[in-house]
Amino acid sequence: MLERMQDDYIPYPRIEDVLEKGGPYPQVILPQFGGYWIEDAEAPVGTPTSSDSSFCEEDDWEGMSPGGGFGYRLECNSMARAYRKHFLGREHMNYYCTGSSVGNLIMSLKHEEAEAQEFLRIILRSKTKTLHDRISLSGLTQLPSVPQIAKLFCEDATGLKFNPVLYPRGSQLIVSYDEHEVNNTFKFGVIYQKFGQTSEEELFGNNEETPAFAEFLSILGDTIELQDFKGFRGGLDVSHGQTGTQSVYTTFRQREIMFHVSTKLPFTEGDVQQLQRKRHIGNDIVAAVFQEEATPFVPDMIASNFLHAYVLVQADQPCTEHTTYKVSVTAREDVPAFGPPLPNPAVFKKGPEFRDFLLTKLINAENACYKSDKFAKLEGRTRAALLDNLHDELHRQTQATLGLGAAGDEDKLENGGHGGLLESFKEVWSCVVSIPLSSTGGAMLICAISTTVYYYCYSQAL
């Protein structure tokens, strides 16, 4: 691999070479051997384009929080919210299929009428994806059977034997499964870069919060005392002061955000790597990099398996009435495009619109990063485990409702036992399904499952 790079690849300039040539400096440069993209403010759509990304603008039914009137839209996986929007609390039927050729399946079916026409709204969940569609019943004298409907979605599937879900609380289990990807809490790194800094040791070694940096932090959120803090803490210690005494926190469109600010995390004398700081920021997925002066940043400057996207913010005339911020965006090459797109020129005046753009961009960046190869593989394993758990629980509860007893460990379903890590998911799921999704505890516990497994798989690489 190295030989191929040396023989066939012309590397990008090193950051040291860029600095040596003198200004004007680009805000961000690509690593020598690529692996990242930089958003082009002159392009009509973010760079690169992604035609198969499942992220879309939030539906209007969710509404916008006050102050969100600048047209910057949060992006989400609308499929995760489809059951709550179209089925929950309305007359519909749920079915489960055991041991088809494509694994266990869960289907939701609802009859609708609109403009004197009849439709069937369908959600079909498999181990690999969830499909949502509405089909017209025009011209049909008889409703299609559940296996026939499943065939419309999975043509190659065989062994489609469905049973109705007869458990009164089945809808709550299903909506909890569908929304296991929904996240209303975020943590982002915030890094201060001085002119000419080219290594993570230099970045994490910065202790000074200049007036310009403090002004930028005030745009992001409020400085809070960590001791006994009751909101989302983003992994920071709120009891013993082991992660510093203060941090920056905000709420934005019904979401909580905790910022891991490099200069507010503990500084350890004699530790060149500043592992206390890297432990948090290096395990974030998205980070904002503040530049008080024009200086280049290269995204592989920080060694991390987690950081996938950076939003660069460069101040001009800070702490004045004329303060502006130049913004650049870079992400790993397998991260799909995310909005809102950068304006041309990508310069914002200090004020609420810049804050709205920046927080929207950070949240959308994290959602897009979950579609990168590394996170998508984790989500695939999580999804398969949770779907089998949902299937087994719906079957068990349906049998119990009918008075036929509950399946014990000795009577596991054909596709119900996986062993190892996935069995651990089932043990956790049995607790999760009893917690309402609308509660903070339920949502955080489900998110913690994915985070815990990801840390287990990759912690040795840091």
Bridge pairing between strands 222-225 and 185-193: unpaired
DSSP state of 306: S
User: Which pLDDT does position 43 carry in this prediction?
Assistant: 66
Specify which residues 135 forms β-bridges with: 120
- Please tell me the predicted confidence (pLDDT) of residue 41: 78
Q: How many CA atoms lie within 13 A of 363 on its CB side?
A: 31
What is residue 82's predicted lDDT score, i.e. its pLDDT? 93
φ and ψ of 329, to 5 deg: -135, 135
Task: Give the pLDDT of the chain (462 residues) as one tens digit per residue.
Answer: 444 445 566 788 899 999 989 889 999 999 998 999 999 877 654 344 343 344 444 444 343 333 356 889 998 878 889 999 999 999 999 999 998 888 999 999 999 998 889 999 999 999 999 999 999 998 888 889 999 999 988 888 888 899 999 999 999 999 999 998 888 999 999 999 999 999 999 999 999 999 999 999 999 999 999 999 999 999 999 999 999 999 999 999 999 999 999 999 999 988 889 999 999 999 999 999 999 999 999 999 999 999 999 999 999 999 999 999 999 999 999 999 999 999 999 999 999 999 999 999 999 999 999 999 989 998 899 999 999 999 999 999 999 999 987 544 434 443 333 333 334 444 444 444 444 444 444 444 444 444 444 444 444 344
What is the SS3 string spanning 258-305?
Answer: EEEECCCCCCCCCCCCCHHHHHHHCCCCEEEEEECCCCCECHHHCCCC
- Give the pLDDT score at 406: 59
76: tokens are 């989400």
With CA atoms as reference, report the closest residue to 38 among 20, 21, 26, 55. Answer: 26
Q: Give Cβ neighbours of residue 425 (< 8 Å, ≥ 6 apart).
A: 382, 385, 386, 389, 449
- pLDDT score, position 169: 96
Using alpha carbons, select from 256, 259, 261 the residue that is nearest to residue 231: 256
DSSP SS3 for 22: coil
| Residues in CB range of 20: below 8 A, 6 or more apart | none
pLDDT at residue 44, as a whole number: 57
Residue 1 is predicted with a pLDDT of 41
Q: What pLDDT is stored for residue 156 in this prediction?
A: 82
- Residue 12 carries which side chain, given as an amino acid letter? Y
- In this prediction, residue 79 carries a pLDDT of 86
pLDDT at 394 (0 to 100): 97
Beta-strand ranges (E) seen in 166-242 are 185-193, 222-225
Helix (H) or strand (E) holding 95: strand 93-100
Phi and psi angles of residue 448, each rounded to the nearest 5 degrees, phi first: -65, -30
**pTM for the complete prediction?**
0.79
b vs e for 105-129, b when ≥16 Cβ sit within 10 Å of the residue's Cβ? bbbbbbeeeeeeeebbbbbbbbbee
Q: What are phi and psi of 459, to 5 degrees?
A: -65, -30
CB 276 within 8 A of CB 204: no
82 within 8 A of 123, measured Cβ to Cβ? yes
